[in-house]
Amino acid sequence: METKLHSFLNSDLLNKYLVGETSMEESKEVEHYIYQYPEVASAYEKLQDNLQVIAKAGAMDAPNHILSNILESLDEINETKVIQLVQKNKTPWYSIAASAAAILFAVTTFMLYQKNQQLNSENTIVDAEILDLRSDIDKNNSKLDELSKELLKLNNPDAKKYVINGNERAKNLKTVAYINSVDKTSMIDVIALPQLPKDQHYQIWAELQDRMVNLGILDEADRKLKQIPYMEDALALSIKIGKNGDDTDNNSTEVAEISLKEE
């Protein structure tokens, strides 16, 4: 009930009722609230007082000589005795209505302006949030697409899985290689790599019939499925420790190896 009363007081029905612009149903509703709720009756009395003050402030008294002229004219025409009328400073009803209408228009215009400003501000915030949300959705969709493609590659029946464990030099090392000889792709998943000095790094190599080929660097900080070059007719994969800036096989130390030959 308090919410309904609050909504009624925030409406313009009292103002419209005061200046006679309400319909019959609206008038009944206003009168019900006035008689039922002291808060509404008090608000209505305040509106009446304010209207009287504004109307009186804008009202103008007729010059005194006009009334005298009218009385003299009536004496000449009717030759009857005219009773002197007492002039009262009474505000015409149409002046009150006009003032009330002006106040109502000003208040309504100001309220609409405030609501419009508020809606514009809220729309700006909502638009920004929608743009951020769309951006996040696009990024998540892109990540999901990449993950879906990776899963398809891993689940492909043509892809072979090779678990590469470290030897005595790197017991905690573990990686998994996925090689698909049909679509010519190779991927490696870094699971664990023992920490190395700052001047060293892990390298993955492919052993061919007549040479070794460096396939890239493995980094513990990049623990995700990583694409590596596919080498046709590779006999084995090995992981070695090399020095930074040196991509040759001359001074590297092998810490893991797995054969790719079919038994």
How high is the mean pLDDT of the chain? 77
12: number of Cβ within 10 Å: 13
CA distance 163 to 256: 10
Query: Residue 172's closest CA among 230, 256, 98?
Result: 256
Q: What is the full DSSP assignment across 10-40?
A: HSSHHHHHHTT---HHHHHHHHHHHHH-HHH
Q: Higher model confidence: residue 15 or residue 258?
A: 258
Query: Residue 226's closest CA among 157, 153, 172?
Result: 153
| CATH value of 159-259 in 1.10.760, 3.40.720, 2.60.40, 2.20.25 | 2.60.40
The highest-confidence range among 19-33, 81-95, 108-122, by mean pLDDT, is: 19-33
Q: Model pTM?
A: 0.44
| pLDDT of 9 | 79
| pLDDT of 67 | 53
Q: Higher model confidence: residue 1 or residue 220?
A: 220
Distance set, CA 263 to CA 49, 235, 260 (Å): 104, 12, 9
Please provide residue 201's backbone torsions phi and psi, each rounded to the nearest 5 degrees.
-155, 165
What residue segments make up the domains of the chain, in order of their start?
A: 2-111, 159-259
pLDDT by residue (tens digit) across 164-206?
Answer: 998 888 888 999 888 888 888 888 888 888 888 888 888 999 9
**Residue 150 predicted with pLDDT over 70:** no
